[in-house]
Structure 1
């Protein structure tokens, strides 16, 4: 994201989540706030763009976005059932979970750039969506601030387990920045966990997948947010275990298409460019605690 400017990619992601609510049946990911958040003209804009949205690469990207949100919120529900009561959304963008949170007692901490958070809060106010008492905003400008400082200011309790969602972010960061954040999540108390998505490198894709990859990456670059870092499942699993995570689950189309997209008549399915990792803390790694 360019300095001082709200993320245009966040808006594009939110628009595709909203399009899913209108265009796809049955829903993979139900979000009743996706359309209202984007304003009264959102439905008309989506309907006017329906031809593009039904064609690749938009259909594959939409499938990836709703699958990752569903996967993360399913994993969160399992963590809450085990007693976790803190949910950190890294790079929250226009995510709406905090405003439709079904888990009593779960505190949600949204982490993002101050410009993006201010823009989002204006959109929430315009849509008449009031932030509940259980949400806190950790504004972090990485030019002058740290994630640990932002979370501490927002009231994060470092002594209790937390579940972390980190969606749509890793491709934009350097490998060192990604591993540093993961290392610090691994230092949280046992019972903590993180779900994040990542892209396979282009040389691991089929010709058709590379076309989709390039179209999406080119659009992000045109918005000033180029893709930088990719992983393979085996190498990432080795990295995660080396950082101290005790359990790692890595899933892609082979696992998620039968789970979320089986029996559909509309062709909505994952295309294979991205994958999801769920890493759990069974005992904190020995680094200094703190994100």
Structure 2
């Protein structure tokens, strides 16, 4: 047993059930430490620090949603849910409404995975298909039973960089209507990386996600996050990157792993 198995950052026994076949096979292979190191090294070559940063980000939002529910949030909404499995593995979410929102094709895939695993969608979870370009998010959520007057934890993880600024602001128009006591967690990619001003030793990642495929389009700067959130009535409580993740998660576990500076994670409150 190596250090990763002795001190896992994330406890997730369900993940392999939700993964696509190729990723599931890779995860199975990665159970062997030597093969895991080969996979990790290949990933790190293209995107230095991605491996550990994703684990820290997952752990951070696991902790954040758990703490938010214990502090009074009565509902959880996961925007761009994809194959996220928090609703099914975190004890804090066992008895509260969770709305998983995504494009119709992604919701269909999630529905199939849940039926294969549980024979049905768990009663506390509602899958919400939304065409973000044509439908109003608040109206669709209302149609699916979301109570907009209840304090809610909103999670928007690893999504904003794929959107235009217009679409990000449209979502924040909705988030701005959240009641007092609500909380928000989201990630962003640094704007100076998208512009090429600072590549943070990740030239290959910039080529793959920005210049070649144009997949990443929206970014923010740590200096502007507070003002951006204030526009929509939110108060920033944390904005974490590589340094903070290292101090909070890696150092206490005596791990020495690189972390990317490209992506940051934010928590905010509606006061």
Q: Which category of TM-score, normalised to the shorter sequence, fits these structures?
A: 0.7 to 0.9
Aligned: 1:194 with 2:181? no
Farther-moved stretch of structure 1 (250-259 vs 122-131): 122-131
CA contact (8 A) 2:79 2:155 kept: yes
Gaps of 5+ in 1: 1-21, 283-291
State how 1:110-125 maps to structure 2 within 5 Å: 110-125=100-115
Which residue number corresponds to residue 172 of structure 2? 182
Displacement of 1:157 in angstroms is 0.4
Aligned length: 257
State how 1:98-177 maps to structure 2 within 5 Å: 98-103=87-92, 104-128=94-118, 130-177=120-167
Displacement of 1:62 in angstroms is 2.9
Displacement of 1:163 in angstroms is 0.3
Rate the CA distance shift 1:42–1:197 in 2: closer, same or farther, 3 A.
closer
State how 1:1-150 maps to structure 2 within 5 Å: 24-25=4-5, 26-38=7-19, 44-46=25-27, 47=29, 50=36, 51-55=38-42, 56=44, 57=46, 60-103=49-92, 104-128=94-118, 130-150=120-140
Farther-moved stretch of structure 1 (113-122 vs 138-147): 138-147
* Deviation digits for residues 19-57 of structure 1 (CA, Å, limit 9, x no counterpart): xxx994432121110012237875543327742333314
CA contact (8 A) 1:28 1:70 kept: yes
Displacement of 1:215 in angstroms is 4.1
Gaps of 5+ in 2: none
* Whole-Å separation in 1 of the counterparts to 2:133 and 2:230: 30
Structure 1 vs Structure 2 CA RMSD: 2.7
* Whole-Å separation in 2 of the counterparts to 1:44 and 1:146: 38
Rate the CA distance shift 1:61–1:244 in 2: closer, same or farther, 3 A.
same
Farther-moved stretch of structure 1 (39-48 vs 242-251): 39-48
Displacement of 1:233 in angstroms is 0.7
- Scaled by the length of structure 2, the TM-score of the pair is 0.83
Secondary structure in 2 aligned to 1:250?
A: strand
